[in-house]
Amino acid sequence: MHRRINPREARRMMQRMGLSMDAISDVEQVIIKTQSKEITIEKPEVAIMEMQGQKIFQVTGGKISEKATERKLTIPEEDARLVADQTGKSLEEAKKALEECGGDLAKAILLLQSKI
Protein backbone atom coordinates (compact mmCIF):
# COMPACT_ATOMS: atom_id res chain seq x y z
CA MET A 1 0.00 0.00 0.00
CA HIS A 2 1.10 3.53 -0.73
CA ARG A 3 1.48 5.94 2.15
CA ARG A 4 0.41 9.51 1.49
CA ILE A 5 2.92 12.21 2.35
CA ASN A 6 1.43 15.20 4.08
CA PRO A 7 2.15 18.59 2.44
CA ARG A 8 4.34 19.78 5.31
CA GLU A 9 6.58 16.73 5.03
CA ALA A 10 6.75 17.14 1.25
CA ARG A 11 7.90 20.78 1.63
CA ARG A 12 10.64 19.74 4.06
CA MET A 13 11.88 17.03 1.68
CA MET A 14 11.91 19.51 -1.22
CA GLN A 15 13.90 22.03 0.84
CA ARG A 16 16.47 19.36 1.74
CA MET A 17 16.89 18.56 -1.97
CA GLY A 18 17.30 22.25 -2.82
CA LEU A 19 13.96 22.44 -4.61
CA SER A 20 11.58 25.35 -4.13
CA MET A 21 8.10 25.67 -5.62
CA ASP A 22 5.87 28.72 -5.93
CA ALA A 23 2.59 29.32 -7.71
CA ILE A 24 1.98 32.31 -9.98
CA SER A 25 -1.43 33.81 -9.32
CA ASP A 26 -3.78 35.52 -11.78
CA VAL A 27 -2.31 33.93 -14.93
CA GLU A 28 -4.64 34.72 -17.81
CA GLN A 29 -2.92 33.03 -20.72
CA VAL A 30 0.15 30.95 -21.66
CA ILE A 31 1.27 30.94 -25.30
CA ILE A 32 3.69 28.37 -26.72
CA LYS A 33 5.01 29.26 -30.18
CA THR A 34 6.70 26.81 -32.53
CA GLN A 35 7.69 27.23 -36.15
CA SER A 36 4.49 25.63 -37.38
CA LYS A 37 1.85 26.37 -34.73
CA GLU A 38 0.83 28.45 -31.73
CA ILE A 39 -0.69 26.78 -28.66
CA THR A 40 -2.74 29.02 -26.35
CA ILE A 41 -3.78 27.93 -22.86
CA GLU A 42 -6.46 30.15 -21.27
CA LYS A 43 -6.75 30.48 -17.46
CA PRO A 44 -4.09 27.88 -16.53
CA GLU A 45 -2.52 27.21 -13.16
CA VAL A 46 1.23 27.91 -13.33
CA ALA A 47 3.86 26.80 -10.83
CA ILE A 48 7.58 27.56 -10.85
CA MET A 49 9.97 25.00 -9.45
CA GLU A 50 13.57 26.04 -8.91
CA MET A 51 16.29 23.46 -8.47
CA GLN A 52 20.02 24.10 -8.66
CA GLY A 53 19.52 27.45 -10.41
CA GLN A 54 17.21 25.98 -13.08
CA LYS A 55 13.59 27.15 -13.31
CA ILE A 56 10.91 24.68 -14.36
CA PHE A 57 7.47 26.01 -15.29
CA GLN A 58 4.53 23.67 -14.80
CA VAL A 59 1.35 24.64 -16.66
CA THR A 60 -1.81 22.81 -15.67
CA GLY A 61 -5.41 22.93 -16.86
CA GLY A 62 -7.16 25.63 -18.78
CA LYS A 63 -8.78 25.72 -22.21
CA ILE A 64 -6.31 24.78 -24.95
CA SER A 65 -6.49 26.02 -28.54
CA GLU A 66 -4.05 25.52 -31.41
CA LYS A 67 -3.61 27.41 -34.64
CA ALA A 68 -1.15 27.05 -37.48
CA THR A 69 1.18 29.97 -38.03
CA GLU A 70 2.02 31.28 -41.46
CA ARG A 71 5.66 31.85 -42.18
CA LYS A 72 6.46 34.60 -44.62
CA LEU A 73 9.26 33.50 -46.94
CA THR A 74 11.95 36.15 -47.28
CA ILE A 75 14.16 35.93 -50.34
CA PRO A 76 17.69 37.29 -49.82
CA GLU A 77 18.79 39.78 -52.47
CA GLU A 78 21.94 37.73 -53.16
CA ASP A 79 19.85 34.65 -53.99
CA ALA A 80 17.67 36.62 -56.39
CA ARG A 81 20.78 38.09 -58.08
CA LEU A 82 22.37 34.66 -58.43
CA VAL A 83 19.23 33.19 -60.07
CA ALA A 84 18.91 36.23 -62.35
CA ASP A 85 22.59 35.97 -63.39
CA GLN A 86 22.37 32.24 -64.02
CA THR A 87 19.21 32.46 -66.13
CA GLY A 88 19.57 35.86 -67.79
CA LYS A 89 16.16 36.90 -66.41
CA SER A 90 15.24 40.06 -64.51
CA LEU A 91 15.56 40.38 -60.73
CA GLU A 92 11.75 40.45 -60.35
CA GLU A 93 11.35 37.23 -62.34
CA ALA A 94 14.07 35.61 -60.25
CA LYS A 95 12.31 36.64 -57.00
CA LYS A 96 8.97 35.26 -58.24
CA ALA A 97 10.60 31.97 -59.21
CA LEU A 98 12.30 31.70 -55.81
CA GLU A 99 8.98 32.33 -54.04
CA GLU A 100 7.29 29.65 -56.17
CA CYS A 101 10.07 27.19 -55.32
CA GLY A 102 10.12 27.96 -51.61
CA GLY A 103 13.55 29.60 -51.76
CA ASP A 104 15.26 26.62 -53.47
CA LEU A 105 17.92 28.11 -55.79
CA ALA A 106 18.35 25.07 -58.06
CA LYS A 107 14.60 24.63 -58.59
CA ALA A 108 14.16 28.34 -59.32
CA ILE A 109 16.95 28.27 -61.92
CA LEU A 110 15.49 25.16 -63.57
CA LEU A 111 12.02 26.71 -63.55
CA LEU A 112 13.21 29.90 -65.28
CA GLN A 113 15.34 27.97 -67.77
CA SER A 114 12.36 25.84 -68.74
CA LYS A 115 10.30 29.00 -69.49
CA ILE A 116 12.46 30.00 -72.44
Question: pLDDT digit string (tens) for 10-21?
Answer: 778 877 887 778
User: Is CATH 1.20.1690 what the domain over 77-114 is classified as, yes or no?
Assistant: no
Q: Is the pLDDT assigned to residue 29 strictly greater than 90?
A: yes
The structural domains of the chain, with segments of one domain joined by +, span: 7-68, 77-114
Please state, rounded to an integer, the average pLDDT across all residues of the chain. 86
What's the rounded Cα separation, in Å, for the pair 59 and 47?
A: 7
Residue 42's pLDDT band, with cuts at 50, 70 and 90, is very high
pLDDT of residue 116: 59
**pTM score > 0.75 for this model?**
no
Per-residue pLDDT, 2:
66
Q: DSSP readout, 17-35?
A: TTEEEEEEPS--EEEEE-S
Task: Give the span between the Cα atoms of 10 and 51, in whole angstroms.
Answer: 15
Q: What tens digit of pLDDT does each residue of 66-101 get?
A: 998 877 778 888 989 999 998 888 999 998 898 888
- pLDDT score for 34: 87
- Please give, one letter per residue, the 3-state secondary structure of the chain: CCCCCCHHHHHHHHHHCCEEEEEECCCCEEEEECCCEEEEEECCEEEEEEECCEEEEEEECCEEEEEECCCCCCCCHHHHHHHHHHHCCCHHHHHHHHHHCCCCHHHHHHHHHHCC
Do the domains at 7-68 and 77-114 have one common CATH topology? no
CATH topology of domain 7-68: Ubiquitin Ligase Nedd4; Chain: W; (2.20.70)
User: What span, in angstroms and rounded, lies between the C-alpha atoms of 102 and 8?
Assistant: 58
The residue that leads in pLDDT, 40 or 21, is: 40
With H, G, I as helix, E, B as strand and everything else as coil, classify residue 40. strand
> Looking at residues 1-8, what average pLDDT do you find?
73
Instruction: Give me the pLDDT at residue 102, please.
Output: 84
